[in-house]
Chain A
Amino acid sequence: MTKAHVWRKPDGMSIVFVLLSVIILLFILAPLVKTVGSSSPGTLWSTLLDEEVYSSVLLTVYAAVIATLVGLFLGVPLAYLLARRQFWGKSFLEGLIDVPIVIPHSAAGVALLFVFGSNFLAGEIFHTIGISFFNSVAGVVIAMMFVSIPFLIDSAKEGFKAVDVRLEKVARTLGASPWRSFFQVSLPLAWRSIFSGSVMMWARGASEFGAVLILAYYVPFFGHYARVAPILVADRFASFGLDYARPVTAIVILLSLIVFIALRTIAYRGEKA
């Protein structure tokens, strides 16, 4: 049944709120539309075929995917513990997880260098197994991971919280070990939150500039040297000016939107099913 629309005389508050909403939406949309719209499709296509551009885009997508996968593996168990267990210092931990959102990302990059630089403890340990984080893809990954993991952990935590703990209890009495109960009940029921958290983490990681700039500015990537897309955009603007930066900016915006909308659609479909 469709609701009949009843004409209501708008009150003053509604008019003011709608006007303010239009302003903020224009503020978000106008730069995006203008940037994308001012480059012809032909220019965009030839820019995409520029080796520097496509390897940058690939590096960005690839590193953000790896960061998200590592984040899933390490972050989901923590999210589950935070959702299910009560322990001393829990709220401190929950605050700590959000710290990467709060600190300037260039500062995060410097801080990461202090741990993962080759002269420091974690850096040395990884160095012995052949992984170096300075100016390498691995560096891009950890920089992205550091600044974006809070989105995944927070979202997964809310997802697990929304799963009735009694479902897990029933699963246990039916013969499930804690592992089985987690993988067959908790995880499938929380997956949508975990998935949308992953999308947010991926998107946030892919758009990271400051931390990557410090840790892994220019990295060897499948036989070429590449910079992540946000750095490429900034470099082109700094070296050649607005006109030269515009096509690559348009491509980055378009690709981000396409991926983001696609993933959101998948998550939304899951919701409807």
Chain B
Amino acid sequence: MTEAIDATGLIKRFGKVTALDGLDLHVRTGEVHGFLGPNGAGKTTTIRVLLGLMRHDGGSVRLLDGDPWAQATALHKRLAYVPGDVTLWPNLTGGEVIDLLGRLRGGLDPRRRAQLLERFELDPRKKGRTYSKGNRQKVALVAALASDVELLILDEPTSGLDPLMEEAFSEVILEEKRRGDRTVLLSSHILAEVEKLCDRLTIIRDGRTVETGTLTDLRHLTRTSIQADLAGPPDGLSALAGVHDFKIDNGRVRFDVDTDALEPALRTLVQVGVKSLVSQPPSLEELFLRQYSRSGS
């Protein structure tokens, strides 16, 4: 088994609305995989299909070498899930929920449970109704991380945590990664978190996968911003493939250029004659913003 999650061309419709429209998601065993996309892109729906809570209408999906719909119960013994919006039973304490969920999955490591409670500074004696959003999330996180499972599916697990707890969460995931015996699917909005934790990532939008690969792969997809004062008119530069947002003002040009098109663009500049040049390195942030904001095609 090399892929813990193998989804190809996944389609999920709700009535007339198509939530997933040919989505691909491939998570290799043992890696931490970032799963990104704007609100409503289909992250939670994908996760629900992976958990066998919803049946897909098209495409194929394998989870831990099984069918997530037909073999849900057997597969669930091997994974732990933290929903994006954790709700707890109002009259059960956090500790009770952790133990219950752990046992229903098939086992909890009590030492690890105690460690995690301490690291997340969570009081397990409080009733569910008295926890804040962040603390409810910690309850689900402790239950998942202390469980003896191969796959962790975490849906925006840090969205309610304060910065200190976010840091604690990152450390725990990095430790998991070093041990290397678990696969983690981490849906997130936070770039810094993904950069720090993930080996590979998948960006989706409107139910479709728009980018997937390692961070280095994706950096390759980013654009360099160039600003140059030229000796003459930059003939043909604006028409060059891979040059975007071209602007010219009094002999000064500004444009963004794809990493692949950097060389031909620079060659054109040199031919015209460069008086000064400023280049800004590619940033993932820009890539994200571009992928997030590009209107559905």
The answer to whether A and B interact is: no
B residues sitting closer than 8 Å to A (CB atoms) are none
A residues sitting closer than 8 Å to B (CB atoms) are none
